[in-house]
Chain A
Amino acid sequence: MSTATPSPLLDPEFLTKLEQLELISRKIFVGRMKGERRSKRRGSSVEFADHRNYSVGDDLRHIDWNVYGRLDKLFLKLFLEEEDLHFYTLVDTSLSMDFGDPTKLHYAKQVAAALSFIGLVNHDRIVIDSFSSTLEPGLSSVRGRSQMWRVVQYLDQLQAHGGSDLTAAARSFAIKHPGKGIVVVISDFMDKRGYEDALRYLIARNMDIYAVQVLSREEVEPELTGDLRLVDCEDDDEAEITVSAPLLKRYKETLDAYVGGFREWCTRRGVSHIFTTNHAPFDKLILNYLRERGLVK
């Protein structure tokens, strides 16, 4: 566990870079409030899209009277409806996230802060929730750049605690947020109960899901020697091992297989899987990696 003072979540220079970005979704979402984002759904905005014949019950305010003057026919002006995007971030705060230097949790917070900043700059609705064994009360929907301090304040107060139950948290999350949107789950996904059920709850909501898997370097390249009794920090489960070259080789193969299996599972279900370690440069993850994956542009 790390005891070092964590670096600030975001630095000003990085923030200026983030201002150029916006969150995008691969799916059409209907915002609850009109936002700045052009929706593919035609609605009532100032940007003209098309005409259609008037039918009874249509809002008379949308009749194009100029056309009626020329053609003596009632046409309804259709506008591209502007919508706001709901951007959910679900951060794992279980004890296992408190490993590494910087800790995985700190790394997760940085990712959450950066993505939230991008969303706030673009007047998206930002929701941040955290979970360990259950879903914790999170930051309710905020909008606008001015709310960034609330985001940072919320993330700063997050502490690692308890075990993790991703499935329970995802179920609660899906019930709590019935609307659609982009959801980014930042976790190590090392839940012994599996990740499948949890992600299925989210997929069922037709959400645009990004699974950001953060592991510490100690997990990827373990530097263990000798005869050890490994204690799981979350459930005190023990495993006695004698570290040997074959075991280390096998561990890496198991890790590769697990991450590979997770990625394949996600790909088949339209979930974007992003693997990173706490030592991977954080800004590159946002500016390059997520951009390639289509989360930001």
Chain B
Amino acid sequence: MLLLAQANPLGGLNLQFDPPVPWSSAWGPTFWSILVGVPVTIILLYFLKLRRKPVQVPSTFLWKRSMEDLHVNSLFQRLRRNLLLFLQLMAVFFVLLALLGPQMKGSTRVGQRYVIAIDTSASMSATDLEPNRLDEAKTRALDLVDSMGSQDLAMVIAFSDTARVISTYTGNKGQLRDRIASIAPSRTGTSLREALEVAAGLANPSKQFGEGEIASEVQPPRLMVYTDGGFPDVEGFSLGNLIPEIVVLGQPPAQGQSLPSSNDGETTDPAVPPSNNVAVLALQTARNEERPDQIQLFGRVRNYRDEPVETVARLLRHELDEPIGEGRLIDAIEVSLPARGSRSFKFDLPDPGPVGLEVRLDLQDDLEQDNHAYAAIGRPRQARVLVVTAGNRYLLNALTTATAGDAAEVVEIRPEDLETDDIQRALLAGLYDLIVFDRVAPSDPPVGNTLYLGAMPPGEAFEQARPVEAPIVLDWDISHPMLQYVRDLPLVLIREARVVEPPPGSTTLIESDKGPIAFITPREGYSDAVVGFSIYGEERALNTDWHTKLSFPVFLYNTLRFLGNVEEGLGDQVQQPGQPVVLRAAPTVDEITIDPPREPSSDVRRSDLGTFVFNGADEPGLYRVSWESGDAIEQSVFAVNLFDARESNLAPRGIPPEGVTGREAEPYLIKIGYTEVAGTRTSQPARLDRWWWLALGALGFVLVEWYIYNRRVYI
């Protein structure tokens, strides 16, 4: 690098030259010799040019008149030959100057830093831009990378519902291009907050040194967000020194579109223009209450277009014992959707057993993903429950009601039977899904989930249990599945109970004024639920009146479903892409195999909580689950659906329509904390480093001029 000029008076900036072809390089001397020869050649050519060719003509009369008309005989004309030479020499001078790579550098200058955040959410797969929004976003980001200067740094974040750092800060453009090109679409929702938090964490490296002294970047980083604006406003977030610039992708709404009133009573946001999309926003299965042999499938479709849509919803069946493919058509209904309205639909079908169902809309729109919705129907399963009790009829009655009987098959034994070999083997073999111990505890924990009533499980952690009298129920965890619909616990009177500090990892179910009187604790993949009191106390005296309350059978039924693995959760729960899926299987199973729709299958081991947690459900569709049970292979299925109205609404947000300003524009703006950010359709790269092409263009211009002169052609 050649340092030519001294520090200038404007503030210590130095003019440096960083030629792209250094003199010391292999062909540097040749290159610069040719360049220096260019002005010399121009001067020589100019002298040649001065020798005008004489031509005899009948009369110069009209020519002189013509030139007078063109004012070419003016002073400028007389100067023309010199001016032309001057201009040419100036052009070459600038070329040479450009090729020297001049740079103004100062002691305080640092390169611009960019945080490039690319939205990869489901709506970015919309094809209203060719080929889709994500590819357009990547192209824009690549343009930005191309325009970066040699001192600039950029990092890349891909975000959907979570944010992922694709590339940390680097000035390596090749690496940035590769990383940006590798960004794949996700099928999940959007959360700008995730991206902002990641960006802020990496882009605001302010550190405090000493008291009140904060070292921060001289030049704040620019956060470039390439998105379609399909995310909620980010509240309570401070951008710090990030300067956000949101580049909104997607077709802008046509001007002057009216908003028709929605027929289905749904409110339409006036700030949201229509988009070319029709989406299934909900799908759920339920057993017909009146006819248990029938399954009902409820769904809802929304039309985001500004015109009514007639379409057909086809119901397809996917068998579990074959790969999830096209499916077999079993039903179809016509769906008429008003403009920007929604409709519900329902399918009735005989109970098909464990099977995957798909509802597919027959139409073409900009987002294909939400034209499909999936549902899974699991096998209704009976839990095998062992009740160890000394004739607690309230307990047995509650476990053998008609409803509970559908869920569980209850075997009753006496406490003394626990010592028999058959029972011992059965407990070790895990033949029971749930073992209820009423005022008795085994010497070793069984293989299976357990419920202890008025007793503590074996183990050191429970040896500290202490008896308390007349505890009053203060609080209970209504969000826990075992306590669903349990409401009247404060009315329960308890004479005596045993209280212990639950071991780490436990969840307290019922809190009393004396301590936790019910909790659930994990044990090697199983769960032990403990209720510190029983119906009967010593001498078969009633210890509580819980059995007279509605909450008692409800609690036991919940326990059967939750700990007895009756609720397999495969068909009922709505799983969203990108979220962990919690699965349950028979207690003897340690590993299950999950077959995602597109990716290869993977094995999942039982977690400490006794469940199987699958983290790879990134794609909407049907996921087959299989596990070995004895000699047979059991199969099940669960469905993952996006069902996100915000993603399905493809109208890009963030740009106010033309002519809208001030307060009227506020609904269109994206709010980050207290900052309202207006998106742009195009991003202006901070710096266009195209001097190389300009220089070559100037050189080409001179060559063309010489050619024209040489060939004596006129244009």
Give me the interface of A with B, judged by CB distance under 8 Å: 1, 96-97, 99, 104, 188, 190, 192, 216, 218-219, 224-234, 237-241, 243-248, 250-251, 253-255, 258
Contact = CB atoms under 8 A, between A and B. Distances in A.
B54 A233 contact: no
A51 B55 CA distance: 69
A243 B713 CA distance: 9
Chain B residues touching A, range: 20 to 34
A245 B715 contact: yes
Contacts of A245: 714-715
7 contacts: A219-B59, A225-B714, A227-B53, A228-B54, A230-B63, A231-B60, A232-B61
Contact of B59 (A229, A232, A243): A232
A238 B57 CA distance: 10
Interface stretch (B64-72, B401-409, B554-562): B64-72
Interface of B: 49, 52-67, 69-70, 72, 709, 712-715
Nearest to B52: A229
B62 A228 contact: no
B715 A231 contact: no
Contacts of A96: 58-59
B50 to A, nearest CB: 8
B69 to A, nearest CB: 6
A250 B70 contact: yes
Given A233-B58, A250-B70, A243 B714 contact: yes
A244 B58 contact: no
Contact of B49 (A227, A251, A253): A227
B53 A226 contact: yes
A239 B58 contact: no
Nearest to A94: B58
Interface of B (DSSP majority class): mixed
A241 B69 CA distance: 13
B393 to A, nearest CB: 113
A1 B57 CA distance: 9
Nearest to B708: A226
B59 A226 contact: no
Contacts of B56: 1, 230-233
B265 to A, nearest CB: 71
B62 A251 contact: yes
Q: Which of A96, A216, A233, A254 neighbours the largest number of chain B CB atoms within 10 Å of its CB?
A: A254
A96 to B, nearest CB: 4
B714 A231 contact: no
A228 B70 contact: no
Contacts of A239: 60, 63-64, 67
A13 B53 CA distance: 45
Contacts of B63: 230, 239, 241, 251
Contacts of A225: 712-714
Contacts of B65: 254, 258
Contact of B58 (A99, A228, A246, A255): A99
A80 B62 CA distance: 50
Max chain A C-beta neighbours (<10 A), residue from B57, B65, B712: B57
Contacts of B57: 99, 218-219, 230-233
Contacts of B72: 247
A227 B714 CA distance: 10
A247 B66 contact: yes
Contacts of A224: 55
Contacts of A228: 52-55
A248 B65 CA distance: 12
A225 B710 CA distance: 11
A242 to B, nearest CB: 8
A190 B66 contact: no
Contact of B60 (A1, A99, A238, A248): A238
Nearest to B58: A96
Contacts of A234: 58-59
A192 B64 CA distance: 11
Contact of A188 (B54, B55, B59, B713): B59
Contacts of B59: 96, 188, 190, 192, 219, 232-234
A243 B715 CA distance: 9
B183 to A, nearest CB: 53
A11 B58 CA distance: 29
Given A227-B49, A229-B52, A233-B56, 7 more contacts: A230-B54, A230-B57, A231-B60, A233-B59, A247-B66, A250-B70, A255-B62
A258 B62 contact: yes
Contacts of B66: 247, 250-251, 253-254
A259 to B, nearest CB: 10
A218 B56 CA distance: 12
Contacts of B714: 225-226, 243-245, 248
A248 B62 CA distance: 11
A258 B59 CA distance: 13
Contact of A226 (B61, B70, B712): B712
A2 to B, nearest CB: 12
A247 B58 CA distance: 18
Contact of B52 (A219, A237, A240, A244): A240
A2 B356 CA distance: 99
B52 A190 contact: no
Nearest to A232: B60
Contacts of A232: 56-61
A190 B715 contact: no
B58 A230 contact: no
Contacts of A99: 57-58
A230 B69 contact: no
A5 B505 CA distance: 121
B67 A241 contact: yes
Nearest to A252: B66
B58 A190 contact: yes
B692 to A, nearest CB: 32
Contacts of A244: 714-715
The interface centre, meaning the residue of B52, B57, B59, B65 with most chain A CB atoms within 10 A of its CB, is B59
A246 B62 contact: no
Contacts of B713: 225
A240 B54 CA distance: 9
A248 B59 CA distance: 15
A173 to B, nearest CB: 22
Nearest to A98: B58
A227 B52 contact: yes
A16 to B, nearest CB: 34
Q: Which 7 A-B pairs have the closest CB atoms?
A: A226-B712, A96-B58, A190-B59, A229-B52, A239-B60, A251-B66, A232-B60
Contacts of B67: 239, 241, 247, 250
Nearest to B50: A227
A246 B714 CA distance: 10
Contacts of B52: 227-229, 240
B381 to A, nearest CB: 91
A247 B66 CA distance: 7
B55 A230 contact: yes
A231 B54 contact: yes
Given A225-B714, A239-B64, A241-B63, A219 B58 contact: yes
A24 B102 CA distance: 84
Contacts of B58: 96-97, 99, 104, 188, 190, 216, 218-219, 232-234
Given A246-B70, A247-B66, A230 B715 contact: no
Contacts of A188: 58-59
Nearest to A225: B712
A247 B69 CA distance: 9
Contact of B55 (A1, A104, A231, A255): A231
Contacts of A233: 56-59
A100 B56 CA distance: 12
A36 B34 CA distance: 87
B61 A190 contact: yes
